[in-house]
Every structure is written in structure tokens, then in C-alpha cells.
Amino acid sequence: MVYPLPVLTPHWENQAINPNYSPAFNIGAAYFISDTYNDLSTSWTHLDTTDSASFVGGNNNFAGPPYLIGPGANAYNFGSGSVNFRYDAVNFEAGHLFRAGRPFQVRVLGGVQYVSITQNMTGTFSSDSSINSQTYTTNSSFSGAGPRVGVNTQFSGRYFQFVGDMAAVALIGTQELNQTFNTVSPNFPGGNPQSFSSPNGTQVVPGLDSKLGGSYSFPFRRGIFKIEAGYQAAIYIGAVNSYSLGQVTTPLQMQDAGVFFATAQHEQSNFFAHGPYLSSTFSF
């Protein structure tokens, strides 16, 4: 949002989307090798979430995308945006349990993780009548695999347990990035589509995940049913890519016609997912 008055001292107010909690799921299975305290396990975590926001400027305001916040954007006073995140993590791991049968137990694990992270972000700016509008979309994706090591801890009472887990991963994979633009104006009522893309690249992404919670066990004749609740988080460093357009100059005769830039800066940001969880397991 741009506040152009007074003319000599305009100022700007950034608008943002604040994603809310969304449901995700995790399913898995484990096999415990008798009399060895070793185990093999696999799991899959999936998250697919979309959030949006919008704002309307007053009579003395105008709006524009990050690369067009000067006089060239004075035709727009309405803005809206949406973002979609898609996250999949698949783990294959082996573990060994220390201090089995004692109140405090430690499981050390090692294995491989595959991760896919996608972000699709769209911003639209328009006039009241929608005669003038500009839309841009940034599509970023990363997929890769790498070694994962960690530790699971548990302190047990009779039926109640406190649990704490932490693991680190180093992923090697491919990042893809492209941006599209579309400008609608009286001179281009059908729109003027443009695009900006870069070659796919190999990227190393470190990650960390952890959880802290408590569980309660219900023993049965042929197994144990456990309910667990707590808080968990996962972060992947530099997994989301984008380009920031610089030196955007629009000739007077091409106002409201399209996007014209001279430079672009590659930027990276972290993917961070966190929230409360509730799970159940049955062992036999």
C-alpha cells in the first residue's frame, strides 16, 4: 500500500499473508527385531494448505506489486494474494533402543529421507472497475533426498510417557523456479502475458525436525494401544526460491502495458512447518 501524500514524503506499507494452522497427516509402520532392540521403520508426512488475504486502498492510496510501487502503479487500489504450500516427507530408517525396560529410554536412528516442497504464490492488483490489473505468480519447488540421523527419548511411568524427538537431515536435490506476469489495461483488454524462468539447479538443503509431547498406553491381551499429543516442528533451510526484480523502468508510452526490468536478484527463504499433533499407535 502506497501513501503518496505529501508529495515530497510518500511512504509505503507492506501487506502480507499470514498462514493459519491446517491439517496434515502422518502414517507409518515399524518392525521390531526380537531380542535385538533393533527396528526398521518407514513413515510419510503430507501437508497441503492454501491461505489468502486482500486489502482495499482509500481515495488517496494506490497499490502495486513489490517491483512496481511508484507512479506506474497509481491505477491500482485493490490488492489480493494467495499462497499454496505442499509438503511431503518420506522416511526410511533403522533404529536401536538403549536402556530397554528402564524408565528412561533412548533410541538412536539413521536412515534416508525424501522431501518435496512446493510453494505457489500469486498477487493481483486492480482498479475499482478492474479495467486495469496486474497479476504475478511465483512457482518454487524443491525435491531431494539425503541421510537423516536423530534420537528419540522417552521417560515412562506405569502407563504415561513423556517423549522428545530430534533429527537432522542433509538433502541434495533439484530446485525449480519460474514467474509469470499478466497486465490488463485499456490497451491490452485481453491481457499481456509475460514470463521469467531460470534453469533448474542442484541444491543442498539442510533440515531439522523435532517434537515434544506425552502419551498414554492402554495394554490389551494382544498388544498395546497408545495415544500421543504434543507439539512438533520441521524446518528446511533455503528450500523456497524466488527472484526479486530490480530497476523496473516503464517507458511513458508503455505505462500499464507490462513489466520491464533490467536486473533480478535470486533470493532464498526457509520452509517452516509447526503445530500441535495428535497420534495413535498400535503395537503387537
pLDDT at residue 13 in the model: 78
| Residue 109, SS3 per DSSP | strand
Could you state, in chain order, the average pLDDT of each consecutive group of 10 residues for the chain (284 residues)? 71 82 96 91 97 85 76 76 97 92 92 98 87 92 98 93 97 96 88 91 97 96 94 98 77 66 88 97 91
Other Cβ atoms within 10 Å of 29 Cβ, number: 9
The whole-number pLDDT of residue 106 equals 95
Cβ-Cβ contacts under 8 Å for 165 (sequence gap 6 or more): 150, 151, 152, 153, 209, 210, 211, 212
DSSP letters spanning 177-239: EEEEEEEEETTEEEEEEEEEE---EEEEEEEEEEEEEEEEEEEETTEEEEEEEEEEEEEEEEE
Query: Is 0.95 surpassed by the pTM of this model?
Result: no
Separation of alpha carbons 268 and 241, rounded Å: 5
Listing DSSP states for 15-68 in one string gives ----PPP--EEEEEEEEEETTTTEEEEEEEEEEEEEEEEEEE--TT-B---TT-
